[in-house]
Amino acid sequence: MASFAKPQLLALVLCFLISIGTAHGSSFAAGHDCKAFHPIFAFGDSTTDTGNQVRSSANGTFSPAANPPYGSTFFKKATGRYSDGRLMVDFLTSALKEGFLPAHLEAPGKLRNASQNFAVAGATALDLKTLQRLANVTSFTPESLESELAAFSIETAGADFSNALVYFGEIGGNDFNYALAAHRPHKVLNSLFKPITHKISSSLDSLLKRGVKHIVVQGQFPMGCISLYLKTLNGTKTDKHGCIQSVMQISDRHNHKLKRIVHHLAKKHKHANIVFFDTSAAYVHILDHASKYNFTNVQDPCYVGALQQMIMPSTSTSSSSIHAPVINMKACPNPQNYVGWDGIHLTDAMYGKMMKLFLTDPSFSSPFPNFLTKCTKI
């Protein structure tokens, strides 16, 4: 099978992984009024981006989400989301009756102190200089956790965060995706875990120190279960959920570390509510009970446009393959029965079912009940 495509294509890649939650010390928000988490901010990669990447300088390079059929199921137009519809953060803010978070770049300078989303498709946890130094790879977008937080600081200087909610979406998956795409050896992949979790930890710590009291930390997706890896590594060892074992080990290990960080921060900041959503565990639970969740296809993407480009034979090195139109390829007629949307990202149906699990099922949220359980209806 074709080797991984050019790193810039993988860019949009989100990434993935898991582990199960031990309850950590955070208690239910003392007397928090469920009516108003405000403002709400989000950080992360393409699994949380509600429209930044298509408006950023990276748009010209490769932004399939700027065109249909992205958005076609729910919004009936492309919004810049890497899905046919809503993302997990959309389901959460809707359940809180706060509507959808505008992308930070939707109205530059006009959202001062207001709810907004800083997540960017392709973003890495490590800044590009560090990623380049450690793994000799780069990203298709200059954005990273650091630049997302820098934009946040500018937009919210002096703001009062006592009722704010931060949705800290998946970040760090792309660091691994870029390294995998470039066939970096184990030693290099191993060198990434510590700096990535350190970066995430210090970012969360700085939000808490600034007075944010409510934080959702989204675990990494189970990398080995995503179409991209199921296809490109087809034939290599799979686990009992049908996911590629070698890649699964990466997300498992990262999630294990991430969960420890969240546990530690919750202990250190007792006045705050920090909840960990175990993305990987929820995802494999749904794979294992696919028909119960109305999914008839858990491996193939509903829409093959973006994926096809990504796994194009590596002989096609001309930039034309990067810019090849994806708009002529058709999506499946029943995305509600598919887990995967474009080979990397998931469908509205899958994201919605996952968020419901986080808000209602003790197995996928630690602690549970969490500070959102009482405040959401989904």
Q: What is the 3-state secondary structure (H, E, C) of 329-366?
A: CCECCCHHHEEECCCCCECHHHHHHHHHHHHHCHHHEE
| Minimum separation from the CB atom of position 265 to ligand NAG (A) | 25
Per-residue string for binding with ligand NAG, 283-322, x by CB under 6 A?
Answer: -----------x----x-----------------------
Whether 334 contacts 367, CB under 8 Å: no
Strand partners, 101: none
Whether 340 contacts 14, CB under 8 Å: no
Q: Tell how far CA 89 is from the center of its chain.
A: 9
Report residue 291 as tokens.
């028909």
Per-residue string for binding with ligand NAG, 167-206, x by CB under 6 A?
Answer: ----------------------------------------
Among 4-12, 202-210, 228-236, 270-278, the segment contacting ligand NAG (CB under 6 A): 228-236
| Minimum separation from the CB atom of position 334 to ligand NAG (A) | 5
Interface pick for ligand NAG out of 6, 104, 199, 231 (rule CB under 6 A): 231
Interface pick for ligand NAG out of 3, 22, 57, 136 (rule CB under 6 A): 136
Query: Residue 138, interface with ligand NAG (CB under 6 A)?
Result: no
Cα distances (angstroms) measured from residue 115 to each of 53, 110, 377: 18, 11, 20
Interface pick for ligand NAG out of 61, 238, 321, 334 (rule CB under 6 A): 334
* CA pair distance 235, 191, nearest whole angstrom: 27
The tokens 């403002």 sit on which residue?
39
| Minimum separation from the CB atom of position 137 to ligand NAG (A) | 8
Report residue 320 as tokens.
């034309």
Looking at the Cβ atoms of 20 and 159, the one nearer to ligand NAG is 159
Query: Residue 59, interface with ligand NAG (CB under 6 A)?
Result: yes
Which residues contact residue 254 at a Cβ distance below 8 angstroms, ignoring those fewer than 6 apart?
A: 17, 172, 176, 193, 196, 197, 220
Q: Residues binding ligand NAG: what is the number (CB under 6 A)?
A: 20
Report residue 325 as tokens.
């139109």
Binding residues for ligand NAG, rule: CB under 6 A, are: 54-55, 59, 63, 66, 112-113, 136, 155, 157-159, 230-231, 234, 294, 299, 334, 336-337
